[in-house]
Structure 1
Amino acid sequence: MNLSPSLQILFVDQPARSAAFYREHVGARVLESSPTFAMLALGDSARLGLWSRHTAEPAPTSGGGGTELAFAQPDRGAVDQLHARWTAAGVPVAQAPVALDFGYTFVATDPDGHRLRVFHPEGD
């Protein structure tokens, strides 16, 4: 059997607030929403669930920042443009644009501290 993940779930304080953040800053489409859960479409097939940390069962044992959602961009200019747009909108930036061994990148955070890495991969 080959299992393939179809949904990534982040535990959040307020699903509606988080859904609005991802809709505005990532361009995610809200597929469903309730007071305790929201599901969003990220691109054609990726799904992001935003589940209230106050009602999730079993209760989550950690908060945001332990993992990253990563968004590849076509070139360095696109990385810089998104960094400028998010900075102007007040999205917290944890790491300014920088060249690392895998490519050009920056890291921002969502309202719950989940890390959002934007990058352009650059190889050898």
Structure 2
Amino acid sequence: MTASVVSIVYVNDAPAAARFYNDLLGLSPTLETPEYITFNLGSGAELALWSGQFEGLSPEVPRTSEVCLAISGGRPDQINAIFKQWQSKGVTILHKPHDEGFGLTFLAADPDGNRIRVAPKD
């Protein structure tokens, strides 16, 4: 069986969210419909942005998951450089770089309040 992992993030406006993630990740969408847009992350992994599934989705809705961008190498200088780049773009930062059991990490949010963690790859 061949399978890929698709992480679906629910958003209010898929095209607007795609512009945010395009700017953040430097990737272009691989599939675009008015309500569902995907980005190929490589190695059988995709990020999908899906609108129309939750009416009135707002940043106040509690989030129980997060997208984690695992950085190859994951040295502190790499994590800090991404943090500074995102900060300069005006990305909402929820938790500045700090040490966890797996290394240096920080937590951000997209315009819909979905959590995005940057951490070292295992």
Using structure 2 for the length normalisation, give the TM-score: 0.82
Residue 98 of structure 1 corresponds to: 98
Is the 8 Å Cα contact of residues 3 and 44 (structure 2) preserved in structure 1?
A: no
1:5 deviates by: 5.0
RMSD value, Cα:
2.3
Query: Superposition pairs for residues 45-64 of structure 1, below 5 Å?
Result: 45-52=44-51, 55-56=52-53, 59=54, 63=61
In the alignment, the residues of structure 1 paired with residue 121 and residue 40 of structure 2 have an alpha-carbon distance, to the nearest angstrom, of 23
- Look at both structures and tell me which one has the larger radius of gyration over its CA atoms: 1
In the alignment, the residues of structure 2 paired with residue 106 and residue 71 of structure 1 have an alpha-carbon distance, to the nearest angstrom, of 10
- Verify: 1:79 aligned to 2:112, yes or no: no
In the alignment, the residues of structure 1 paired with residue 111 and residue 104 of structure 2 have an alpha-carbon distance, to the nearest angstrom, of 24
In the alignment, the residues of structure 1 paired with residue 70 and residue 38 of structure 2 have an alpha-carbon distance, to the nearest angstrom, of 21
Identical residues among aligned pairs (%):
28
Could you list the runs of 5+ residues in structure 1 that have no partner in the other structure? none
Residue 112 of structure 1 corresponds to: 112
1:4 deviates by: 5.1
Could you list the runs of 5+ residues in structure 2 that have no partner in the other structure? none
In the alignment, the residues of structure 1 paired with residue 111 and residue 49 of structure 2 have an alpha-carbon distance, to the nearest angstrom, of 12
Number of residue equivalences: 116
